[in-house]
Structure 1
Amino acid sequence: MNVSIDVAWKSLNKHDEELCGDKVEILKTEDSDIVILADGMGSGVKANILATMASKILGTMFLKGEPIEEAVETLASTLPVCKVRNVSYSTFSILQIFHSGDAYLVEFDNPGCIFVRNKQLVKIPENIREISGRKIREYRFSVQPDDCFVLMSDGTIYAGVGELLNFGWTWESMAEYTLKCVRETKSAARIAALLSQACDDLYQQRPGDDTTVAVTRVIERQIVNIFTGPPEKKADDERLMRDFMRMDGKKVVCGGTTSHIAAACLKRDMTNNDDGTKEVPPTSNIRGLDLVTEGVLTMSYAYKLLKRFDTGDIDGDFFEALDGGNGGARLARLLLEECTELNLFVGKANNQANYDENPMFDISIRKNLVIQLKATMESLGKQVTIQYY
């Protein structure tokens, strides 16, 4: 078995705090994917520093293959001590899923991981160990495609306490709602958004604690390839298309001139659709390609949706836009919900067609858009490569 993960997370800052005291890190090794959720003690700047230090220390040591004992002892000796409580720690959860299907989960003082398999809640057999005076919950097991895991900070189970609920949202309530979300959608992004929104609603949009959910779905690799912009040299059209079509995964072409290059090289007809809007030009069809769109306007629209999700600016209007039928929404959905690896094939030519429509257009516009798209996709836990022609 060769599995990968679809991962998404959402954080709510404690009310009136500019920084979140929770930190999520996604790391990749040659044979595994690692998700780390650290919750710094307290809130605000101090908690943010503690969580960031903890996640970096844990991530660095895990990448080096150090045992959990070493990681915990390093945390205990490195993090500053609270003068009030006389403790020095950040709670954490670490989920490591190997491409072989083996998995390792370790938790310290965070709420337990929620595990859903075959649309049922599953209990993972745990092993409790004491390291440096701290009780650590440790699990080793095997995963299957479509398994879903939710790591969370304790803000999730405090949601609603003293307001809508007497004792907050319990772990059991969180687990049952997770099960409902998993039955409605397979997307880690939507599950994370739904769980986070539920917590925010229970807090009545005034979170009493930093609140983070990190959702991991076990999936097969989902590769998306995007070709945008004509090559710098016309002679490279055929070479670029050979490289592009040779890749595994879905194929997307973005750009008017680019789509004509694709059709010519593939020796296939191109037909146009009637799905354009005021913001996004219509898409086209070329046999063998999964999506054919206009270039900069469509990619900009998709990028704005991805950026909104990455920054937590999600509500009913966001998902209504994401579910739209235009090319920009379709591209954003593909990249957000059906992509673990993105390969960008970017032509460096100054496109005369763009100049004719907008004399101010410059190749740097496309280049900057591609760089921003790469940064946002990586922030969302995706693996991105760029090849220029």
Structure 2
Amino acid sequence: MSVSIDVAWKSLNKQNEELCGDKVEIIKTQDSDIMILADGMGSGVKANILATLTSKILGTMLYEGADIESCVETIAKTLPICKVRKVAYATFSILQIFHSGEAYLAEFDNPSCVFIRDGKIVKYPYETREIGGKKIHEYRFQVKKNDCFVLMSDGVIYAGAGSILNLQGWTWEAMAEYTLKCTKKTMSASRLAVMLSQACDELYEEKPGDDTTVAVARVIDRRVVNIFTGPPRSKDDDERLMHEFMHTEGKKVVAGGTSANIAARILGREIITKVDSRNPDVPPMATLEGIDLVTEGVLTLGKCLKILKKYVNDEFDAEFFDELDADNGASRLAKLLIEDCTELNLFVGTAVNEAHAESELNFDLSMRQNLVDQLIATAEKMGRTVTAKYY
């Protein structure tokens, strides 16, 4: 069994604070994916520093293969101690899912993880260990496809306390039931994170009384997306590129008019352009048998990148998904990369577009290459494994 992970998180800053006192760190090792949620003591700058240090120390040490005892002891020794409470650092949750399907979860003073499997809330047994005077809950278990895990800071279960829920706060049980209900509407980690964060914001009446973070991990199949953009420098390479592109597993996307014409010629099939007057800002898509998505090149890639960067910069909410669900080339490509991709393969031609070679638009090659470079960097920030081949 080889598993892949879809992860996303959303944070709400405490009211009147510019910085969040919670921090999420995602680390990929050769054999696992690690998600860390740290909650710094207090709020604002101090909490942000404590949470950032905690998550970075944990992430770096775990990446290097350190055990949990060493990690906790290092944090206890490294971070400053609060003069008032005589307590150091931050609380944290660490979820590590190995590609083999084995999983490990360690929690220190954060609310328990919500586990959802086969449409039910599951409670795994845990062992309690004392490390450096701190009680750590440890879980070890096997994951399977479609399992969903939600880590959270304590701001989540305090949501609504003092106003809507009459000092009770949103109990862990109520939050878990709501999560289960949401998973029946969507299994996308990013959409689920937005739903849960939005519910917390509403319970706080949009005035969060604490930093509030949900981090979602889903176990999914490996999903490969292949993008061919730009004609090869030599026409002799057209057939080689198309052969390699078509014989690579995964979904197929062709971005660019010249690229689409090459694909149609080599495949011996007809391109049919879809006329769409609803969104004049995005060039129309086309259909080509054997290809999952055919779009225009530079403009569409540029608009797709804007959407991806919003996602990377944590600027996604319910309205963001309205844009992502729009029926145009940029949104369709962005949706594919956000919600249906674990690995991205790029097949990039390096010829100057003949249509632009003799015009003032001879920036086409450098423009396309710049967009490809940005796409690689952005996809890697999204946690995708990216390879690029140039022709």
Aligned to 1:69: 69
1:357-372 to structure 2, matched below 5 A, reads 359=361, 361-372=363-374
Distance 1:297 1:202 in 2: 41
Aligned to 1:95: 95
Distance 2:326 2:4 in 1: 28
Deviation of the 1:337 alpha carbon: 0.8
1:199-238 to structure 2, matched below 5 A, reads 199-238=200-239
Greater Cα offset, 162-171 or 133-142: 162-171
Aligned to 2:179: 178
- The alpha-carbon distance between structure 1 residues 15 and 355, as it changes in their structure 2 partners (threshold 3 A), is farther
- The alpha-carbon distance between structure 1 residues 255 and 357, as it changes in their structure 2 partners (threshold 3 A), is farther
Deviation of the 1:270 alpha carbon: 1.7
Distance 1:196 1:88 in 2: 28
Deviation of the 1:190 alpha carbon: 0.6
Deviation of the 1:140 alpha carbon: 0.4
Aligned to 1:112: 112
> TM-score scaled to structure 1, two decimals?
0.94
The one-letter amino acid paired with 1:218 is V
**Partner SS for 1:23:** strand
Aligned to 1:334: 336
**Partner SS for 1:47:** helix
Distance 1:162 1:356 in 2: 68
Mapped contact 1:3–1:99 kept (Cα < 8 A): yes
The one-letter amino acid paired with 1:367 is Q
Aligned to 1:157: 157
- The alpha-carbon distance between structure 1 residues 89 and 291, as it changes in their structure 2 partners (threshold 3 A), is same
Aligned to 1:319: 321
- The alpha-carbon distance between structure 1 residues 120 and 355, as it changes in their structure 2 partners (threshold 3 A), is farther
Gaps of 5+ in 2: none
Distance 2:326 2:139 in 1: 41
- The alpha-carbon distance between structure 1 residues 43 and 363, as it changes in their structure 2 partners (threshold 3 A), is farther
**Partner SS for 1:141:** strand
Distance 2:211 2:360 in 1: 46
1:24-35 to structure 2, matched below 5 A, reads 24-35=24-35
Mapped contact 1:191–1:215 kept (Cα < 8 A): yes
Mapped contact 2:33–2:96 kept (Cα < 8 A): yes
**Partner SS for 1:252:** strand
Aligned to 1:139: 139
- CA-atom RMSD, angstroms? 1.9
Deviation of the 1:224 alpha carbon: 0.9
Aligned residues: 389
Distance 2:39 2:287 in 1: 48
Distance 2:91 2:8 in 1: 20
- The alpha-carbon distance between structure 1 residues 17 and 376, as it changes in their structure 2 partners (threshold 3 A), is farther
**Partner SS for 1:150:** strand
Deviation of the 1:370 alpha carbon: 2.4
> TM-score scaled to structure 2, two decimals?
0.94
Mapped contact 1:8–1:381 kept (Cα < 8 A): no
The one-letter amino acid paired with 1:163 is S
Mapped contact 2:194–2:318 kept (Cα < 8 A): no
Distance 1:19 1:229 in 2: 42
- The alpha-carbon distance between structure 1 residues 362 and 339, as it changes in their structure 2 partners (threshold 3 A), is same
**Partner SS for 2:184:** helix
Aligned to 1:191: 192
Distance 1:64 1:326 in 2: 43
- The alpha-carbon distance between structure 1 residues 353 and 168, as it changes in their structure 2 partners (threshold 3 A), is farther
Deviation of the 1:344 alpha carbon: 2.0
Deviation of the 1:202 alpha carbon: 1.7
Matched, 1:283 2:296: no
The one-letter amino acid paired with 1:164 is I
Deviation of the 1:356 alpha carbon: 7.6
Mapped contact 2:22–2:153 kept (Cα < 8 A): yes
The one-letter amino acid paired with 2:174 is S
Mapped contact 1:257–1:353 kept (Cα < 8 A): no
Aligned to 2:312: 310
Mapped contact 1:275–1:325 kept (Cα < 8 A): no
- The alpha-carbon distance between structure 1 residues 242 and 378, as it changes in their structure 2 partners (threshold 3 A), is same
Distance 2:386 2:158 in 1: 37
Mapped contact 2:231–2:238 kept (Cα < 8 A): yes
Aligned to 1:168: 169
The one-letter amino acid paired with 1:372 is Q
- The alpha-carbon distance between structure 1 residues 141 and 250, as it changes in their structure 2 partners (threshold 3 A), is same
Mapped contact 2:20–2:48 kept (Cα < 8 A): yes
Mapped contact 1:95–1:104 kept (Cα < 8 A): yes
The one-letter amino acid paired with 1:332 is A
- The alpha-carbon distance between structure 1 residues 234 and 123, as it changes in their structure 2 partners (threshold 3 A), is same
Aligned to 2:272: 271
Mapped contact 1:342–1:384 kept (Cα < 8 A): yes
Deviation of the 1:213 alpha carbon: 0.9
Distance 2:227 2:164 in 1: 47
